[in-house]
Amino acid sequence: DGGITQSPKYLFRKEGQNVTLSCEQNLNHDAMYWYRQDPGQGLRLIYYSQIVNDFQKGDIAEGYSVSREKKESFPLTVTSAQKNPTAFYLCASSIKMPSGSLYEQYFGPGTRLTVT
Amino acid sequence: EDKVVQSPLSLVVHEGDTVTLNCSYEVTNFRSLLWYKQEKKAPTFLFMLTSSGIEKKSGRLSSILDKKELFSILNITATQTGDSAVYLCAVNEKSGSARQLTFGSGTQLTVLP
């Protein structure tokens, strides 16, 4: 089965601790993304990566870090510097055409992070 | 300033009703507009619209784009309780990078039996 997996589904952490959210895809997609969703709001882009070993900040990158060592994997670390880390985190991937155009993004099931 | 604005924010209807969801946008180099349905977890892709005036249709759902007036609508006819979800609109801008999906805040649709 092809798709995007995120783990864990629910995550609880104490304030001040770093936590890493997993995102894996076997769709052979080039581009991968991390979004954050807060209640009543749309998705806000944290980081994105077009190719292995390359990634760019999105709109709300402060307090987060990522790596892209393999095409299939794009883990997100929520650091203690993130002021309001409690949120629903969604990972997505898409095919990137040679022209640079973007096909639709496919989303993973999400990780709900609660920091107390 | 919001680049993608959806309305209404929430909507409650009864089964069998027809609903129209709106998405207006303001971007510099428009490439496409996408609609997603989000039930509890991952948004699922519905439509991608790139050309003005051409309706995309899938069953009871349809969508159309007006590039002159910078908006899109999503229509759902004969609504069912399974249509209850948040409907997200996103706009893709032309750029050298792959990042450009800007999402609206969504419309929460509730369909009552």
What is the predicted pLDDT for the residue at A95? 83
Answer yes or no: is pLDDT of A62 > 80. yes
Which band of pLDDT confidence, cut at 50, 70 and 90, is reported for residue A42? confident
Q: Residue B53: what pLDDT?
A: 81
Is the pLDDT score of A99 beyond 70? no
CB contact under 8 A, A105 and B103: no
Residue A83 has pLDDT above 90, yes or no: no
- pLDDT, mean of residues A34-63: 91
Residue found by looking up tokens 């095919």 in the block: A95
> Taking an 8 Å Cβ-Cβ cutoff, which residues of chain A contact chain B?
4, 30-31, 33, 35, 40-45, 48, 50, 56, 58, 90, 94, 96, 100-110
A101 vs B106: CB contact, 8 Å cut-off?
Answer: no
pLDDT at position B30: 85
Q: For position B92, what pLDDT does the model report? A: 84
CB contact under 8 A, B43 and A107: yes
pLDDT interval class at B54 (50, 70, 90):
confident
Instruction: Give the gap in angstroms from C-alpha B14 to the nearest C-alpha of chain A.
Output: 22
CA distance A85 to A18: 10
Per-residue pLDDT, averaged over A20-43, amounts to 91
Q: Which of A90, A104, A108 sits opposite B34 (nearest CB)?
A: A104
Long-range contacts of B85-88 (CB under 8 A, 24+ apart): B85/B37, B85/B38, B85/B39, B85/B109, B86/B37, B86/B38, B86/B39, B87/B6, B87/B21, B87/B35, B87/B36, B87/B37, B87/B38, B87/B46, B88/A42, B88/A43, B88/B6, B88/B35, B88/B36, B88/B37, B88/B38, B88/B43
Assess whether pLDDT exceeds 60 at residue B86. yes
Segment B68-76 mean pLDDT: 95
Residue B110 C-alpha from the chain's centroid: 15
Residues in B lying within 8 Å of A, measured between beta carbons: 4, 6, 9, 31-32, 34, 36, 41-45, 48, 88, 90, 92, 94-101, 103-106
* pLDDT at residue A50, as a whole number: 86
